[in-house]
Structure 1
C-alpha cells in the first residue's frame, strides 16, 4: 500500500495546543508542541462603537475633526481621570473617520510592538519583515512609520489608555516622537491617557476631559437607561457628579432592574448612603474584557496602582485628602504641615517628597489645584472620587484616619466648612468600621456638630448634640471622656442660642465630673472652668468673672502655657470684662497680646485671630476714637467675609458695629 500523498500529511497555519502527526499507519508518531505564545497583537480595524450618543463633547469633537481634516502636524492627546469618557470621545471620532472613508487603527500600549507591526502589515508590509523586527523595537518603529507615512488612503490611529507613557518610548519623552507616538502626513494620531502632563506630551495638543455639566449628565443617564427621561434623573446625575462611567452604570441599572428601581429617584435613594452599590448592581451588565475599567472601583484602583508605581507616598496622601476634602471642599496646602505628617504612613515625607506626591496626583487627574486671590494654593478631589475612596477604607486604614483627625485638630475652627464636611465623612467611615458606640466615632460626630454650630446653625447643632449625649450616656457611661465632651459641646450650643442658665448648669456639672475624673489641671477641665467663668460674665457678674478669669490666666502662666488656645480665650474674655469696666488700657494690652499669639500659632486669617482684632476695634470705639473704630471694624468685616462668609452672624455683627461707628463719627 503506497503511503498517502505528502500534501495530505502537512499542517499549515498556526498550531494551538498539540499536533499529532503520523507519517503513515505503520510508522512512528511525532508530537509537535505548540510554540510559546507571544504577545497577542491588539490592533483592530473595527474599534469600539459608542453605545449611546456622545453628550457634552460637541466642541471637543468639532476641534478634533477639524484637526484631523486639516492634517495638523502634531498628535492630539485626551487626558483626564479614569471613567471621564476619554475612550468614548475617541470612539466617536473613529466613527466619524470611518464614515469619511478613513482607515481606523485602534491599539493598546501594553502590546504596542506587535500591534503596530500588525498595522504595517495591514498597510501592505510583508509579514516576514514584520516578524524580523519583533526583537528590534527601534528599527520596528521606523519601519512601521514608513508604511503609515506612505499609506494609500488617510488613517486614524488611536492609542487608547496610554496610562504608562513610557511604553510608547522607554528611552525618550513620548512627545519627542522618536518611538511609537509620532505625527504623520498620512493620517491623524489620537492618544487617550490619565497622565495630564503637557510637558510630557509636547508638542502634542493636549485636551483635558472633565465631567459632564448637569444638563448633559442627565441626558446621558437617560440615554443609557433606554431613552425615556425618568423622574429624578437630574438629581441622580448630580449625585454622580457628572462622571460618564457612573452615569452609564446607573443607566444600565435602571434599564435592567426596572422592577427594583422604577425611576431614578428610587435608585438615588438606594445609592445615596453607599455608592459602592453602583458597582454591585451593575457588575453583571458591565462584565467582560477589561473588567476593571468598567466599574468605578476598578477605575480608581487602576489609577492608584499606576500612581503608586511611581510615587508610593501619593496613595496615603490621596486617601487622607479624600477625608479632608469631602464634598469637593478645597484643602489648603497649609492644612498639610510636615510636622503633623511626621507620624503615621507619611512619616518619611520631606518638603520635596510632599511636592512630588502632590504632583503625581495632579498629573494623573486625581487632584486639581487652585490658587485663591490671597495666594493660597488648595487641592480638590472630585466628590465621586473621594467618596469611592472612602468607601474602600477598611480596618487597615486606621493610621490614615488618625492622620486625618490630627490634621483637623491641628488648626481647629480655621476652615469651618471644610471641617464640617471632613468630620461628617470621618464619622461615616468610623461608624462603618466601629459602630456608633466607639469613642472615636462619638468624637468625630461631636466635632462635626461643633463646626455646624460655629457656622451659625446653632439649633441644628443643639438637636444633634442632644442625641449624641443620650447615646453616649447609654453606651459609654455618664462620665466617660467622650460623654463629657459631648455634654460640654451641648452647653456651647445652648450658650450660642443665649440660653445661659441651661448652659451654665451643664458646664457646672461637667466641670465637677472632669475635675474628679481627669484632675484639675487637665486641658478639658480647664476648658470647662473657662466656660463656667464666662457664664458669670454673660450674666453681668463682672466681679466674679474678672476674679475667675484672672485666676485661670495665672494657672496657665504658672505652667508656662500662655499660648494655649483656651488660655488665650481666657485673656480675651478678661480683656472684654476690663473694657466693660472702663479699663481701656488693660483691655487693649490684652487684645493685642491675644492677636499676636494667635497670628503666630493659627495665622492672621483664623477666625479667633480676627475676634481679637474685633476687640481692639471695640476699645477704639469705647475711647471715642470713632474714625479709628470705623476703619478697624471695616477690616474685621472684610476678614470675616473671607473666613466665615458674608452671611455669617459674626460678619453681620462687625457690619453693625462699623455702621454704629460711622454714625457716631457723623454725629460728632
Structure 2
C-alpha cells in the first residue's frame, strides 16, 4: 500500500469497518479508496558549530612544530592540502607512518576551532573507500535530513552541500591509504571550505588541481628533546640521556612516544633504554609497549605501523618486488645507497630469486598451474620497485642523486632486519656485498660514489658481519680499505686493516691464508702512512709465517715476497729490494708464464726500483721494452699507468721534451675515455704542467696548476691526495717563478692540512716541512735553518740515515752554510735550479703517477 500525498486530487473520503493498529489495518468492508498517511520522524534541526566524527585527542606532551606554519599557509592559499612527505630537501626519510601527520592535523583543527573560525568540522578515517563513502553519507543525512539507501548517493549529497553552503567548514580525511579511494569524492574548494588529508603516500594523483603537497619531516632535535623532557617532566631523572635517545630513534615522533611509555612503565631512564636499544641481540619490537599499554590511543606499535605500508607497496606493480628491495636496503647505509647497487647484475639476480616461486615442491606446483612464472627482474623493474617504496614513504628515491639515490629511516631498517631469520640475513648480506663490489669503480672513479660505497660497506659489516667472512672474506672489504687510503687517509686505512686483521684472526686463525691477505694489506698501508720500518717488519713476519706453514699456497707466498720487496725499497734498502724482486720475477715467470699480467707488473715494479736506486737510464730502458708486451696483455688503465711511469723516468734522464709529449697524450686519452674530472685525467694534467715548467714555461705552469686546483677541489675534495699534491706543486712553482714569500705561506697552509690528513711522520708531511723551510729561507727568514735541522732529525728517525730525502735535507743545510745562525740570502740564487725542482720528494710528485 503506497502512501498518498495530502494534496492528491484523487483522494476521497472513506470508511473502514474494523480496528486499526498502528500501520496495520484490519478491515472487513472497505468502501471507496483509502489514503494512508505515514508519520515521518524528522531529525532535529542542525545546530552550528558542529563536529562530526571521532577526532583523535592531542598526544600527551604534544609539542608545536615548525611545519605547522607551512600547513596554515597552504590552507589559507590553495584550499586543499595533503600531509605526506618528500625528503629531498632534508636528506632524511619522511612521511612514513609515525612522523605525526595525524597529530598535526588534530592540532591545526583544534586551534582553528578554538578561534571560532569554523562552523563545521568533519573528521573521516579514510582507510578505505567504503569508510569514506559511509561517513560522507551519514554526514549528509545529518546535515540535510534526508537518508539515502545508496551510500554513494548520500556521499554525493554531502559534496553538493559543501559546494553550495556559506558555512565555514573543514573536512579532514585521515590516513588515506589508496589515492584512488577518493576518486569522485574530493570536496570542492570554496571560499569558506578547506580540505585536509593525511597519508603515507606521495603519488602524483595527490597533486591535483587546487591541492598543495606539504612535506612532513621528522622532529627536529629541539622538538624531540622538548617532547621527551615534557613527557618525562614528572620524573626528571628519566630524562637523562634524552638527546642521545632521540638521535638513536631518528627523531621519529611515534617511536619517541612509545619509547617514553615503555621506559616510564619500567621506571627507566632514557640512557638505560638507549643501552637496550643499542643491544643488537634485542628485537626492536621487544622495546615497545604491549598493545594494551600504547600511549595516546595508538592503534599499533611502530613496527606494525609500517607493515601495512610494506604490504601496500608490495601490491603495486611490479608486484612482489618492494619487500625484497627493502630487505636488501635494510642492511645498508640509511643516509644513502647508490642507485646502481639495486640495478647491477648481482642485485637483480638476488631479486629475481626472491620474487620467483621455489623450483621444487609446492612452489613448483603453483608455477605449473599459474599463467607464467614471475619474469626475471631487470633494472627497469628494480627502479619501478624502488618507486613503489618511495610512493609509500618507506624509502626516499631520488634518481637525480645517483650516489645517494635511496635513503631509508634507520628504524625501518631495524624493524625489517628483526623479522629476518639468520639464514635469510646471511643470504641477504652476501647479496648486498656482491652488489656493492660489482659497482665499485676500481679505476678511481667519482669520489662521491666511492665514499658512499665505503660507507655502505661499513654499515653492512655492522649489520651482517658473518656474511662478509663466511665462507670466505669478501673482496668488498679490500675495496673499502684501499679506497680509504687512496682518498688521502692512509692512517685511517691502517687502522681499518688492523681491525680487519683482528677480525680475520677471530674467524680463521692467525695462520689462515685469508688472514694473511689482510696482514699484507696492512703492511702496504703502514708504508703509505709513513711507517716504513713498521711496514717492513710486518712484511718480513708475514713472509716468514707463510714460508714455514705446511700447505701454504705457493702463489700467495710469492705475492707476499713481492710485497716485501716493495717494503724494502720504501724503507731505503733499494739494493736489497731489487735483489729480492729479481728472484720473485724469476719464480713468477717460471710458474705463471712470461706473459702473465702479474709477471709484467713485477717487471714494471723492478724498473721503478732501479730508477729509485739511481739507475734512471735502466728504468727507461726496461719500461720501453716492457710497454709493447704489456699493451697486448694488461688492461688499458694499467698500460697508461706504465706509460706515465716511463714519462717520469724520461724526465729524470733529461728527456723532458719527450716526457711533455707523453703526458700531453695521456691527458688527451684520459679526458676522452674517463672525462675531465677523473683522477687519472687530473694527475696527468699535473704531471704535464710540472714537466712544462721544467722546460722553462714556469708562468704557464703556475696558471695551469691554478686551474687544475679548482678542478680537483670540485671533483675530488680538499683532502684528496691529488688535490694536496697540486697545492704542493703550485706553491713550489710560485716560488720558482720569483715569489718565495707566497710560496712559503702556501706551504705553511699545506703543512697544516698534511698534519691533519696524513699525520706527522708521513713522507708527504715531511716533504711539506722541507718545502716550507726551503722557501722561507729563500725569502730570507732566518728561522728556517733550525726548522731544517729539526726536520733532518725526524727524517733520520722515520727513514733511516741513507734515505734520499735525508740526503736532500743535508744538501740544503750544506748549501746554506751549515751553522744554525748563518745568513740565508747568499745562496738564494743557486736554489732555483731544475735539479731541486725535479726531485720527487721536494716537488710533491708522489701524488702523481
TM-score, normalised to structure 2's length?
Answer: 0.61
Q: 1:602 to 1:583 in 2, by over 3 A?
A: same
Q: Which moved more, 1:281-290 or 1:141-150?
A: 281-290
1:146 partnered with 2:160: yes
Indicate which of 108, 132, 138 corresponds to 1:118: 138
Q: Please report how far the alpha carbon of residue 618 of structure 1 lies from its aligned counterpart in structure 2 after TM superposition.
A: 2.4
Q: 1:474 to 1:73 in 2, by over 3 A?
A: closer
Contact 2:61/2:231, CA 8 A, preserved across alignment: no
* 3-state SS of paired residue (1:156): strand
Q: Please report how far the alpha carbon of residue 492 of structure 1 lies from its aligned counterpart in structure 2 after TM superposition.
A: 2.8
1:640 partnered with 2:654: no
- Aligned residue runs from structure 1 range 586-605, under 5 A: 586-588=658-660, 590-591=662-663, 595=667, 599=671, 602-605=674-677
Query: What CA distance in whole angstroms lies between the structure 1 residues aligned with 2:285 and 2:189?
Result: 39
Q: 1:396 to 1:513 in 2, by over 3 A?
A: closer
Query: What CA distance in whole angstroms lies between the structure 1 residues aligned with 2:195 and 2:414?
Result: 33
Q: Please report how far the alpha carbon of residue 584 of structure 1 lies from its aligned counterpart in structure 2 after TM superposition.
A: 2.9
Q: Please report how far the alpha carbon of residue 358 of structure 1 lies from its aligned counterpart in structure 2 after TM superposition.
A: 5.0
Contact 1:456/1:648, CA 8 A, preserved across alignment: yes
Query: What CA distance in whole angstroms lies between the structure 2 residues aligned with 1:525 and 1:430?
Result: 37
* 3-state SS of paired residue (1:425): helix
Q: Please report how far the alpha carbon of residue 241 of structure 1 lies from its aligned counterpart in structure 2 after TM superposition.
A: 2.9
Q: Please report how far the alpha carbon of residue 189 of structure 1 lies from its aligned counterpart in structure 2 after TM superposition.
A: 1.5
Contact 1:196/1:208, CA 8 A, preserved across alignment: no
Q: 1:471 to 1:206 in 2, by over 3 A?
A: closer
Write the deviation string for residues 575-614 of structure 1: whole angstroms up to 9, x where unpaired: 3333333333554455456555655665443334422332
1:166 partnered with 2:180: yes
Indicate which of 110, 114, 118 corresponds to 1:95: 110
Q: Please report how far the alpha carbon of residue 491 of structure 1 lies from its aligned counterpart in structure 2 after TM superposition.
A: 2.8
Contact 2:124/2:135, CA 8 A, preserved across alignment: no
Q: Provide the residue aligned with 1:32 in structure 2.
A: none
- Aligned residue runs from structure 1 range 57-72, under 5 A: 57-58=65-66, 60-65=67-72
Q: Provide the residue aligned with 1:109 in structure 2.
A: 127
Give the greater-gyration-radius structure (CA): 2
Structure 1 unpaired stretches of 5+? 1-6, 8-42, 170-177
Indicate which of 259, 263, 269 corresponds to 1:250: 259
Q: 1:606 to 1:239 in 2, by over 3 A?
A: farther
Q: Provide the residue aligned with 2:83 in structure 1.
A: 78
Q: Provide the residue aligned with 2:579 in structure 1.
A: none
Write the deviation string for residues 414-445 of structure 1: whole angstroms up to 9, x where unpaired: 334213211101212331x54756524x6444
* 3-state SS of paired residue (1:158): strand
Contact 1:549/1:570, CA 8 A, preserved across alignment: yes
Indicate which of 685, 707, 710 corresponds to 1:613: 685
Write the deviation string for residues 271-310 of structure 1: whole angstroms up to 9, x where unpaired: 3464975432114268669999744433444333333322
Indicate which of 140, 150, 153 corresponds to 1:133: 150
Q: 1:612 to 1:224 in 2, by over 3 A?
A: farther
Q: Provide the residue aligned with 2:635 in structure 1.
A: 562
Q: Please report how far the alpha carbon of residue 133 of structure 1 lies from its aligned counterpart in structure 2 after TM superposition.
A: 0.9
Query: What CA distance in whole angstroms lies between the structure 2 residues aligned with 1:625 and 1:160?
Result: 72
- Aligned residue runs from structure 1 range 248-397, under 5 A: 248-259=257-268, 262=269, 264-272=270-278, 274=280, 277-284=283-290, 294-312=300-318, 313=321, 316=324, 326=333, 328-329=335-336, 331=338, 343-345=349-351, 353=381, 356-357=384-385, 359-365=387-393, 366-369=395-398, 379-384=405-410, 387-388=413-414, 391=417, 394-397=425-428
1:453 partnered with 2:453: no
Contact 2:261/2:294, CA 8 A, preserved across alignment: no
Q: Please report how far the alpha carbon of residue 89 of structure 1 lies from its aligned counterpart in structure 2 after TM superposition.
A: 0.6
Structure 2 unpaired stretches of 5+? 1-20, 22-50, 86-94, 353-374, 547-552, 560-587, 740-831, 833-849
Query: What CA distance in whole angstroms lies between the structure 2 residues aligned with 1:348 and 1:582?
Result: 60
Q: Provide the residue aligned with 2:7 in structure 1.
A: none
TM-score, normalised to structure 1's length?
Answer: 0.75
Q: Which moved more, 1:393-402 or 1:506-515?
A: 506-515
1:660 partnered with 2:732: yes
Q: Provide the residue aligned with 2:525 in structure 1.
A: 493
Contact 1:73/1:185, CA 8 A, preserved across alignment: no
Q: Provide the residue aligned with 1:214 in structure 2.
A: 221
Q: 1:379 to 1:458 in 2, by over 3 A?
A: same
